[in-house]
Amino acid sequence: MNEIIFIVKESPEGGYEGRALGFSIFVEGDTYDEIKENIRDAIHCHFDEELPKIIRVHFTKEDVFAA
């Protein structure tokens, strides 16, 4: 596998939450650096042999405001 993509967003409870596209991998972290480290740890736990060579993180932010 060449790459894996994570979608990361701010959590309503604070911090960040992320999920991998196409895999059942979910992570949380208080800071952006912590969630990147948690993504690495989760990938090492999920894949036994062939690890992805590239990890892409797409950070999304939802903003709601009155018209």
11-30: pLDDT as tens digits: 988 999 999 999 999 999 99
Question: Residue 6 has what pLDDT?
Answer: 97
Check: CB of residue 1 under 8 Å from CB of residue 16: no
Instruction: State how far Cα 5 lies from the chain centre.
Output: 8
- Tokens in use for 59? 């950070």
pLDDT in tens, 33-66: 999 999 999 999 999 888 999 999 999 988 888 9
pLDDT score for 63: 81
Residue type, 24: S
Is residue 17 helix, strand or coil?
strand
